[in-house]
Chains A and B, each alone.
Chain A
Amino acid sequence: MAADSYEDIAVDKGDVIPALEVPPQELYHAKSFWTKWIFCQDAKVIGIQYSITAIAIGLVALVLSWLMRLQLGFPELFPFLGAAEYYQFVTMHGMIMVIYLLTALFLGGFGNYLIPLMVGARDMVFPYVNMVSFWVYFLAVLVLVASFFVPGGPTGAGWTLYPPQAITSGTPGGDGLGIILMLISLSIFVVGFTMGGLNYVITILQARTRGMTLMRMPLTVWGIFTATVLALFAFPALIVSCIMMTLDNLLGTSFFMPAIVEFGEQTEYSGGSPILFQHLFWFFGHPEVYIVALPAFGIVSDLISVHARKNIFGYRMMVWAIVIIGGLSFVVWAHHMYVAGMNPWFGYFFATTTLIIAVPTAIKVYNWVITLWRGNIKLTIPMLFALGFIVTFVNGGITGLFLGNVIVDVPLSDTYFVVAHFHMVMGIAPVLVVFGAIYHWFPLITGRLLHEGMGRFHFWVTFLGSYAIYFPMHYLGFVGVPRRYFEMYDSEFMAVSTNYLNQFITVVALIVGFTQILFLYNIITSSKFGKKADKNPWKACSLEWRTPEVPPTHGNFGKELPVVHRWAYDYSVPGATDDFIPQDIPASQVPNAEVEKT
């Protein structure tokens, strides 16, 4: 595909129709309510099932964050918040947000809904496995929720689950069922994800419609595709570490457990390595960052392009940047471990690889803002969220240059600087994209528009509020305030004013949190009573808007699959009457359009 010149990508010369490589496949047709809506094999329904489950469990994590913030802003005011509960909330909040919300929503939710529609397929290639994938994910969520109700409560080991503390008695849930259910739930999640993930990858590689070369796919598909490949390589490291830790815990093996003295008692453990766990965890954990970020990169590229009425700048560079970032993400993991006690010589290697990632990432940022240059920018709600994403992502990206540079990380690691950094870059930034994407594709999914006024209010409070939460939080880290502290007491190194900053952050966090309820209200009411949308309300080029019916029905594309004649970004083509030419329009239908040579 590298050999494709830009002109080949942009548009077919003449009305070529590539031959069918395989005959059309017969679809599974549901007959009962159960097979149509519950054990459904239609990727669109599965995508919505994934999204609803992910958002529901995400709301639990949101409430947990409020409780944490109440403790941090106003310690001792809430007697029901003890240290053990606080650490359980921290752990479950982190784990839910990263795995059960963001991963599931981007790949299971958006992936399922958009991939077949965007590549011009009727469904995923393995619809049955796809259905099972969702239900296995659902089971993982149930096991996770169950851990809230077992004696001792859920694990409070921190979302990184570092041994030895994850399975010792000094940690909440560490000597009970809490940690075991966590490990089991994660293992189930990986099983479910693998079923879905193989589906996404194979569908993209094998089931694209005629004319849809890889280099004509919308960047949304490229982002989801690369993220899924990363996940298929990264999640095995998580599942093996979960299994090994479960064995250490239940059978007394010593994979991760060295000889230790637990509250004065010698233990039977001997010779295991806690650092080995950290390597395995971050070999999964760092790609995980990009598993969340790459779909966001892809989606935001499409939002910017559609709403600025301009092709994405440097499409091929954007594709390669996604692929290169994905590849590099596997050789940077130990930058989470600079002060973990590994051999200090690793620092040179991982600092170098980590900072190299900044180059393709910066290129993506440049290309997004250059796309705005001389665009015709519609400040729709999706566009606003995309702009908010760029601000928060650049902000969170540059603080990554602090933490990735090994010596700069030394004083900052495990402080609030880290908390602020990762919330900005893989919390707020991707979530802004999720919101933008929901406002963008809601008319496709429901045929109606979300309420404009509520949407704009939601954007401004969420964007400005979350920036006001996390930008100042970095400075707590400079002061030296440690993360994962239930209470600071009087600490000489901290000025009293830092407490006021914590109170401010808590108040803003509650406001931003409650605004999300308004967003949910908007979704629920607009899906029933919202303004009816046009068939292609944003005048987008990509195939998901080209179905005969909107919302798309079973099988997506009616009798004939669309044939693709051009890339997904033909906006404002000189000479064309409209300011967009959909992908399935051949050159003969827009005779005056001049695709500029580059």
Chain B
Amino acid sequence: MFVALLLVLVTLGSVAFHFWSPWWWTEVASNWGNIDGTIVLTFWVTGAVFVAVCLFMAYCVWKFQYDPNRKAEYKPENTKLEWILTIFTAVGVGALLAPGLIVWNKYVTVPEDVVDIEVMGQQWYWNYRLPGEDGILGLTDLRNITDDNPFGINLDDPNGLDDILIQADDLHVLIDQPIKVNLRSIDVLHDFYIPQFRAKMDMVPGVVTYYWFTPIRTGNFDILCMEYCGTGHYAMRGRVLVDELSDYEEWLSEQMTFEEMIASNGKTDLIKLALNKKGE
């Protein structure tokens, strides 16, 4: 009796905790609200199975307690029941998988009207690069990285000159503008994650990974590094500010392009080299 009761309490307590605890998703701030939808669906399907199995078990424990004058039933197999349960489970699994794959398909299919930006991780901070007026990010090579060229932008590629470089914690983005984040790391693995945006992807040195999202409400959001990256992992923070157009443009006008940055370092010969290439 006591054991069955406790099993029931554990089950119902879990359900109560789910509905009444204060800990749940942050309010979504990107277009990925349908990821939340797939999670809620998973909760209902799997939660029902959990409650059913646990309560059935509790019932058995209560109903079929040991009695020396009784014998257990002798029933080794029941092919029909086993098939019914198998099919029932397969249908449930399919009901979870199909919508999940549909949303995943959206996640990996980048729409055409995105703006490319780059987020570059290194131990233990973030750098951002915007494509500038030409709308194209210049090519990079890690071997080009020096104090004067922290992103390793390829000087042979004229598209890099107007790239806007941001070596600060804060990144501003424009509301309702779909963004493709190109993710790069120059040392170890990192992961660019903003809880309210739901999306995430690791950054791997040697390759450029990506995801896309559309911010749907203004505000300041914490950036967390989500892939363990060494002793300073927990301190690798940043902030994304989702702006209306006027605020965004004001911020943008304050940022420096690659060209301006080289000039301010007194390396004008580098600019000439790049501009000559542009003329060719």
Contacts and interface: CB of A to CB of B under 8 A. Distances in A.
Most buried by A among B45, B96, B188: B188
Nearest to A492: B222
A197 B227 CA distance: 34
Contact of A596 (B17, B74, B79, B122): B74
Contacts of A491: 222, 224
B74 A170 contact: no
A491 B225 CA distance: 13
A399 B49 CA distance: 12
Contacts of A472: 17, 21, 23
Interface residues of A, number: 119
Nearest to A398: B46
Contacts of A202: none
Given A165-B188, A172-B231, A310-B72, A493 B222 contact: yes
Contacts of B66: 309, 376-379
Interface of B is mostly: mixed
Contacts of B123: 170, 263
B72 A571 contact: yes
A569 B17 contact: no
B187 interface: yes
A259 B72 contact: no
11 contacts: A171-B188, A174-B230, A274-B205, A358-B93, A372-B60, A373-B73, A375-B64, A376-B70, A414-B227, A489-B237, A596-B75
Interface of B: 3, 6-7, 10-11, 14, 17, 21-26, 32, 35, 38-39, 42, 45-47, 49-50, 53-54, 56-57, 60-61, 64-67, 70-79, 81-82, 85-86, 89-90, 93, 96-97, 100-101, 103-104, 107-108, 122-124, 142-143, 145, 147, 183, 186-189, 191, 193, 195-196, 198-207, 209, 220-222, 224-234, 237
List 7 A-B pairs, minimum CB-CB distance, nearest first. Answer: A258-B206, A480-B195, A170-B230, A398-B46, A372-B60, A374-B73, A165-B188
Given A402-B39, A493-B221, 20 more contacts: A83-B231, A164-B205, A168-B187, A170-B229, A258-B204, A259-B142, A260-B142, A262-B187, A263-B123, A274-B189, A313-B77, A363-B85, A377-B61, A390-B54, A394-B49, A406-B100, A471-B17, A480-B195, A572-B71, A596-B74
Interface of A: 6, 10, 83-84, 87, 156-158, 162, 164-165, 168, 170-172, 174, 258-264, 266, 271-275, 308-311, 313-317, 339-341, 344-345, 347-348, 351-352, 355-356, 358-359, 362-363, 365-367, 369-370, 372-379, 384, 387, 390-391, 394-395, 398-399, 401-402, 405-408, 410-415, 460, 464, 467, 471-472, 475-476, 478-480, 482, 484-489, 491-493, 495, 497-498, 501, 569, 571-574, 579, 595-596, 598
